[in-house]
Amino acid sequence: MVLKQLSVILVIFLSSTIWAQSLPIRIYEGVKTNQLQCVIGSGQYLMIAHHENGIPTTVLLQTLEQGRFKIKGSLLEFYQGTNLIAQGSHFELIQRNQEDFVNWSVPEISTKIRSYEGDFELTIVKGQIQLINNVELETYLEGVVSCEGGSGHHQSYYQTQAIISRTYALAYQNRHQKDGYALCDRVHCQAYLHKRIGTTLIDSSVYSTQNIVLLDANGNYFPTFFHANCGGQTCPPEYVWNQPIEGLYSFKDTFCIHTKQATWVKNIALSKWTAFLTTKYNFPIDDSVSLALLQNFKSEDRTAFYIHPVYGIPMRDLRDEFNLKSSFFNAEIKDQQVILSGRGFGHGVGLCQEGAMKMAKEGYKYDQILRYYFPGAIISRNKTLIHE
């Protein structure tokens, strides 16, 4: 361990981190902790402990060197074993080379490691450690595409996912502005649970589509929503969010109907089901006509409401309440059970990932896949067209 305060090192590190656009991404969003463990996975990191008043402390961390951040009062402390190495109001970790990375874990919760490239900032927010990863957009996307897309697919699917994830990240980069970062690491923004995994196919798909985004007719980022499987029909945005979104419409998707998550079945106790309908929506359970309708609800196409709009029970609410894979299902009553036969997985708006994977497998190119799912979008390589 070398303890230094050499401005020369600072200059070398800072100058080496000026790359393309970088985004601050919150890691461990929703995880409350006052301790974080870090191990330098590869390369070198310069750790800077900032003090309210005074000169920052800098420490150079080498590959496999490790330590633990802990909160003490209003300060963050960095320990190696039982030795207190540095203390400050907030810390920065600056990578030496672009592929250097840090392995993070939350010792109080699990030993599971999450590796990320780029720089880091640690601060105390409401008595918890807030970890931010400042990462170049394209490097972030390599992580997102592998988290959101998984492995074993064809290149044109990964290229498609890279373009819609890039567009989404840029369109929503102010989503967490009030919290001091651009995006979180969860599905709320896009899953970014680890750095790129180094598969050439994913990395080259991101690289080969660099700067490509989808725009609407006004030059704004196109709303590139996506989900796992639409169940054979994409969902109108107003069924999910109560309002239409220009350029996004419902249509029949023939590519996803024989895929892994095309259908699902779930049984729910009839008493639980009717209790929810009666207490929340005053469903007239004693009315013979309504009761007869409840016995067997079948719908070929997506509907906004269960049974009939007159009862005012959104399919979306049933999905939320009973934790269903989708809001596209039939419901039949048998032996005091409600048997749900569902289609698809996810909100159903925009691009259907399993459909896009199938198209890629059948040889479609990424621009054909994008035009199929987002017929109103313009595929743009030209940054000057974009209205920020």
Residues of the shown chain interacting with Zn ion in the complex, contacts defined by CB under 5 A: 184, 188-189, 230, 253, 256, 352, 355
Which lies closer to Zn ion via its Cβ, residue 23 or residue 40? Answer: 23
CB of residue 176 vs Zn ion: minimum separation in angstroms? 6
CA 330 to chain centre: 29
377 burial (CB, 10 Å; 0-12 / 13-18 / 19+) is: buried
Looking up tokens 């029949």 gives 252
Evaluated on CA atoms 371, 240, 346, 230, the torsion sign reads negative
Q: Write down the least CB distance from residue 261 to Zn ion, Å.
A: 10
Q: How far is the CB of 373 from Zn ion (least distance, A)?
A: 9
Decide: 200 and 144 in contact? Cβ < 8 Å.
no
Nearest-approach distance from CB 226 to Zn ion, in angstroms: 10
Nearer to Zn ion, 258 or 280 (CB): 258
| CB-CB contact of 358 with 369 (8 Å) | no
Q: What angle do CA 193, 199, 203 make, to 5 degrees?
A: 80
Query: Which among 258, 244, 251, 247 has a CA at the least distance from the CA of 343?
Result: 258
Element (H, E) at 243: none
The dihedral of CA 80, 86, 92, 96: what is its sign?
A: negative
Q: Which residue's CB is nearer to Zn ion, number 73 or number 363?
A: 363
Kindly state the smallest distance separating residue 304's Cβ from Zn ion, in Å.
19
Least Å distance, CB 253 to Zn ion, is 3
- Residue 265 burial (C-beta neighbours within 10 Å; 0-12, 13-18, 19+): exposed
Of 205 and 234, CB closest to Zn ion: 234
Q: How far is the CB of 344 from Zn ion (least distance, A)?
A: 7
Angstrom CA distances, 187 to 222, 247, 345, stand at 19, 23, 14
Distance CA 248, CA 375 (A): 8
Query: How far from 295 is each of 53, 118, 172, 319, CA to CA, in Å?
Result: 71, 56, 43, 19
CA angle 214, 220, 223 (to 5 degrees): 55
Between 29 and 100, CB nearer to Zn ion: 29
- If the CB atoms of residues 250 and 337 are measured against Zn ion, the closer one turns out to be 250
Residue 230 Cβ vs Zn ion, minimum distance, rounded to whole Å: 3
Asked if 227 and 348 touch (Cβ cutoff 8 Å), the reply is yes
Question: Which two tokens mark 324?
Answer: 């269903």
CB closer to Zn ion out of 163 and 349: 349
Q: Which is nearer to Zn ion, 29 or 92 (CB)?
A: 29
Least distance from Zn ion to the Cβ atom of residue 137, Å? 16
Return the ∠ at Cα 48 (arms to 198 and 11), rounded to 5°.
80
* Residue placing its CB nearer to Zn ion in the complex, 280 or 361: 361
